[in-house]
Structure 1
């Protein structure tokens, strides 16, 4: 079946989500910053909100797949992968996991049910869940037995970031933060071995590449134009490497990559927290970035594996219109003209919309000012509850990984 995404607004047909799991219940105040959270979501309500999100997508004739199910199916259909997956997971889980790799591997190999195994790797493993070999007596005596041997992976419900579909290919990412790097293991195994994708999806970026890049920074503007944010989590080095590989693929239609250099701060961690497309000629934008935004155009160079790069001097609106072949586009300001509302609603992902068709978007209900402005611009706005999901600093676009969209 493969993948097919050549725009941000084409009718969404197939999407991958991750239903929040017990990994959220492993968050504690002292670990929040390291695990990239500002608060602790309440799992029961977070699941209810996420289920509402998934059901809304289904009601709009979108096939919803779950990361945990796809990974479990991959292991079930390829029994020889279980040991390899566990070894790779342990290798990426830090020094304590590696120090205890023998007993940790035995523990994980003993989990017969594939989905239970996958969910266990996601939720984290305590030291006292495995038997000590007695090789580290000082460590065994002084460690806190509530301490994690492998950390939980609480950011997983933001499936947009670990990889990105670009045309008929995929970019599997080197995540910026160590706490998120294991997330890409699942995407790698699914894309390489699940029967829906194996052998049909070209990989433009690999999880062991050197420089960080994340899916929230990648926007498919059209079949020929890609936008990528230079952000807190995506480096220019990664963009150059990705560009060279895309341009080298004879089946890729992408001719131009726009690199948008946004402020390197947590509030704007990805491009899609400040800019998303909602219709053929409309984008939501956080106005706070417009004064400092620098935009670069990247095209294939005259020689193999070279790039032509130039800085564009026009405004964001003019650049987007030009590259989309339009006379003009409309930038819809998050929060409108109210500066306080703009900052508050951007923080709560008012600019992080998920278009499921041209002019039809899914948004958080809490951003009432921005949502009303979207309606005034003629958009169909579908709201979902967000009291707990929003605590993870990501909106509907962050929580969804489109696998197949219709062409526009």
Structure 2
């Protein structure tokens, strides 16, 4: 049976390479243990924009039990203080119990990466997190900060076993849809990142040149620039207005110019052209936000539902154990009562048998005594008769022997 040592969807954590002085990076921790196969693995999943992909890609760092160095892995109370917003992100509920999961591996971990033909690189603006991910994947010593409340009490002993005696376990055999969509590689799949170039935000305070500002235009112009860009609209007769604007001493437009319908027509065309685009962009953004929010709500609900189910399973297991204990107690009490009743019945039967035996003994003894007395009287009579016969016989012999 496979156990999820934390919730199935993973838990929020902060991870970093131990020798690295950089701040830990947010990611998701998964932990699975199979008692029937004696297998266990820990997974750390990152999501980051990657060059060549339209959506963020996930990378899963795999720490198999047989790759852990025995005797040096642990989970201990954290001494790091975090801002409240990070505590809210890591904490399950109530008072977070921050722990540091310290892992030491024999060799850099394997990685589940999206399919690609070569090495991967970050999108512009994401060099720092990509470089951090590369360092964590390459490291053999990793620290993971988590809220210990995510680990159920019944699973903490299993997690300790994975950390303390990894030599007794093997890596978990992977399967499922995610495994098919991602290939297993090593840290070299991450291409090198140029750390000498400043990050994109470093130039925000510098003055931008006009060439940079005009070299690239947005896919859809901003609605605020519609009137400024009206000169490039086809069929927009604004040549006089443009010439007047460039004059060193501009004169106020005449009432005839203000009254002409051409400007209003240009504005109407601009609005008709750009309003649907702006509206579509706004609706798409709202839809994306709504879908993302609904997805987050569903993930949160799934996690809470699984937590409730797990708690109910624990409660049911406790109720079952209590019921078995109560049943055993009732059975033992009833068995003791039956034993006492059986012993009383046996004692009564023995007592009755003893009384019957004594009565039979007394009856037999009386009869034997009577028979013996009768036999003794008979023998006395016989002796008396024999004595008299011998006396008479002796007298007869003497009388015969006398002379006539």
TM-score of the superposed pair, with normalisation by structure 1: 0.20
Determine which structure has the larger strand proportion and give its number: 1
**Structure of higher RCO (CA pairs closer than 8 Å, 6+ residues apart):** 1
TM-score of the superposed pair, with normalisation by structure 2: 0.20
